Structure 1
Amino acid sequence: MLNYLGKRILNSIVVLWIVMTVTFFLMHAIPGGPFTAEKNLPPAVLANIEARYKLNDPLSTQYMDYIENILHGDLGPSFKYVGRSVNDIIAESFPVSCELGMEAIILSLCLGIPAGVLAAFRRNQWHDRTINFFTTLGIAVPGFVLAALLVEIFAMKLGILPAAMWNDWTNRILPTLALAAMPMAFITRLTRSSMLDVLGQDYIKTAKAKGLSTSYILFKHALPNALIPVVTYVGPMVASILTGSFVIETIFAIPGLGSYFVTSIYNRDYTVILGVTVFYSAIIILMNMLVDIIYPILDPRINIGDRED
């Protein structure tokens, strides 16, 4: 297992380097720069600003300087947020994004898994049909469309929930629902499909023949094995929720990292774009690695040390 994890860590470092390199050169390939939108800057002033941030250095020099800085944990200064570094922006805003993401993840798991189990146990009954209807809606309707509908219904028409901001628990309800809808639907469908497959296995039939209770068969034998495909999805799902809440944060005016990322793209704030991309890539890689570690816990027959990359 240690050998496998060592290989994964080395591979992760290579992947991060590739992501960082591709992002760096793609950003600089786009015409313009962080300060080209400043209409009234004289050429001499613009040249001094670019010299201050070393933007007039050869691209290879800028790249090597960035590599050196990132090895020391320095993601560089922001070009648009004067006096603030990318490290400061991530440290300040990511906890908000993480809080929103974790609430959506918990909601997805707490509702999705029981709904999937119920749909499997009540296959082709009204419970199953109702759950399938709502999961189809959850998958078909994009998050930003659902967010707009939630704001229109609960904030504009009914006036029972705030439309935006991040002040108290009432501000969290609508963005959490909008962010959790699609992963909740996927988890429900995965759980249902996997549970149906497990319930048809011979060892489940043997357990029933022994007279074991339905709840014991469910929680002891069926559910742990049925959750393996769900865990496979949950790892990337956690990463996608934590890194994919950009639009939701923008719609609900949430001061998370996603709003900074979107703004940095408009402003061509190279260091923020690059720093956030590398940061989120590291989260995705970490989540996938954690999924591999969780596999043997759910099913001891799985030995990740025997897996080949």
Structure 2
Amino acid sequence: MNIDGTIDRAKFCTEINTDIISCIIGALLSSSNIEHNGWTLELIKSSKSYVYRWRDHSGHDFIIKLYSPTGPKERIKSFLRPPKYLFATAEKLIAAGVSTPKPIAAFRLTTNERAVGIYIMEREEGITVKDLAKTSVCLNTGLHIAAEMGRAWGNLVRSGFLHMDPIRGNFLYGVNHRGHHSLTVLDIDNIYFIGWLPKPVRLHRLKKMSRIHLLGLPKLIGTTPPRLIFKRFLHAYAKAYGVPVKIASREWIEVISMLAKQKPDVYTILSNFPIANDNK
């Protein structure tokens, strides 16, 4: 590559042209927002990391995350989980049946001024669950979101992934490459491959996901009975996790108890969650 700096700890998608990577690096080193010779680099977020969108005349549409750790905690995490690690995590997620943006490139770039981590992935079309929650959807869409969340969470658990930050902004609802609506896991920075999740850990993460997502779905759909939403989630979760619905129902009872201690007002809703033989 013809770049002003050195690259190490790198991994690239076999289909990507390295000239594109060189062009992206040059743009990143030049400015936050720039348009030149048929390509556009746009800064879309700057918080824990800088997030850019790249588009060019060849049809590439990428999301680029640039990591420039400052404090000790960030430096340690950057060393233990470099962009190359995120690339491998994305590959494992896709192999496990979890929808996540395809990784394109991951590397550390060192220039005369600084060293940064760069992770490039394909951009997915859709709307985040956070933004979706500001609107309203029809019954079938709401039930499909519940089922997609159950399928995604079941695949994560079955494959030994620990999701530490399942906020609504980290899930995208849109049309996948097969033309089907699906739920995509966007931010994999806080997804860890453990290999096996002990039951207490599994239940704790299920509790957090349920509190963030499932309790908001009835409001999103309007008059839909929460019972129907939770049932759709549970059956999809059990199928993806690879356990009978009856076993998944037992875990859910424990999750209800954990949630009820923190939020007694949700117990009335969740205590009516369908059991395995409930066909209503």
Q: Same fold (TM over 0.5)?
A: no
TM-score (norm 1): 0.22
- Please identify which structure carries the higher helix content: 1
TM-score of the superposed pair, with normalisation by structure 2: 0.23
Larger radius of gyration: 1
